């Protein structure tokens, strides 16, 4: 029982801010729930797994990013709400376009964490005010995806706002950032194809390492002693050379080496 507005001793206190955000930014919660369902025990889902029908009610707020450089990612697919915020078609534009110059370096740092860790990032946003630009708050979530090549270079995102858009373009300042690395919560139930995402075991056979990059955990160097242990003598994946052996000569074979010349008149001459 509560006394004077305070919970009684032993009573659990539930923070309502997160639930209030989910009520105000329902599209964010829907996209994250869909992404979590696609993981199915893996570190991150694949880009090819995304089906727009799974986030039908949040499509206008959703987008897909492609990593193009350190701290930079461009929009490959974008919902109509993002175009409304900028007053133009935004496909092909960098995500930093939606932010004030002061916040762009922070966005670049967050993107690097999302791709490299990998991690989930949630950002709280406030739009710039001005003539014809009323108060506008926003929420942005960035969810890493694996490309067809096996590296984390895609992001499923959602940008939802509360308030009238007003006169475009609307750019946002970042007021809060929450980054949640994924390696910890995926360690309890990785699917077989994702077991290589954990840090490299020094005793592991280098030939068993994945060809694709899954973030920082898969980019560690294999120590030389591991190569020696596997009979590779620090030569990486090089194999032992195969010596050429000519045809065996039978006993009593007295043939001598000769050269056959072919003349233009078609006659062969042996020397």
Query: How much is the pLDDT for 45?
Result: 97
The dihedral of CA 41, 47, 49, 51: what is its sign? positive
204: containing domain: 199-229
pLDDT averaged per 10 residues in sequence order, the chain, 271 residues: 49 51 83 96 95 95 97 97 97 97 97 97 97 97 96 98 96 98 64 37 41 36 39 34 50 56 54 49
Radius of gyration of the chain (CA): 30
Residues 244 and 257: their CA atoms lie apart, in Å, by 19
Q: Are residues 99 and 207 in the same domain?
A: no
Query: How much is the pLDDT for 219?
Result: 36
Token pair in block for residue 27: 């599209």
| Residue 154 contacts residue 47 (beta carbons within 8 Å) | yes
Residues 167 and 251: their CA atoms lie apart, in Å, by 97
Torsion angle (degrees, nearest 10) of CA 203, 207, 212, 214: -10
Is there a domain that residue 159 lies in? yes
Q: Are residues 139 and 211 in the same domain?
A: no
Residues 38 and 50: their CA atoms lie apart, in Å, by 8
pTM confidence score: 0.64
Query: How much is the pLDDT for 183?
Result: 86
Report the CATH number that the domain containing residue 67 is assigned in CATH: 3.30.450.20
């Amino acid at each position: 029982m509560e006394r004077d507005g305070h919970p009684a001793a032993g009573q659990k206190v539930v923070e309502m801010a997160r639930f209030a955000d989910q009520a105000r930014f329902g599209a964010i919660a829907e996209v994250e729930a869909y992404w979590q369902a696609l993981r199915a025990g893996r570190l991150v889902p694949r880009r090819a797994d995304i089906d727009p029908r799974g986030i039908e009610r949040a499509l206008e707020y959703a987008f897909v990013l492609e990593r193009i450089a350190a701290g930079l990612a461009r929009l490959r697919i974008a919902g109509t709400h993002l175009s409304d915020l900028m007053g133009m078609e935004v496909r092909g534009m960098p995500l930093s376009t939606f932010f004030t110059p002061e916040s762009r370096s922070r966005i670049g740092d967050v993107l690097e964490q999302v791709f490299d860790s990998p991690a989930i990032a949630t950002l709280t946003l406030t739009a710039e005010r001005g003539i014809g630009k009323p108060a506008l708050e926003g929420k942005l979530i960035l969810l890493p995806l694996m490309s067809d090549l096996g590296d984390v270079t895609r992001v499923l995102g959602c940008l939802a706002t509360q308030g009238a858009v007003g006169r475009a373009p609307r750019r946002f300042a970042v007021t809060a950032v929450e980054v949640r690395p994924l390696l910890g919560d995926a360690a309890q139930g990785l699917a077989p194809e994702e077991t290589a995402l954990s840090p490299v075991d020094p005793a592991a056979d280098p030939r068993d390492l994945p060809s694709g990059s899954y973030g920082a955990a898969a980019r560690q160097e294999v120590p030389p002693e591991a190569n020696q242990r596997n009979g590779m003598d620090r030569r990486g994946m090089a194999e032992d050379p195969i010596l050429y052996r000519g045809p065996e000569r039978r006993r009593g074979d007295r043939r001598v080496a000769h050269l056959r010349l072919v003349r233009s008149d078609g006659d062969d001459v042996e020397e």
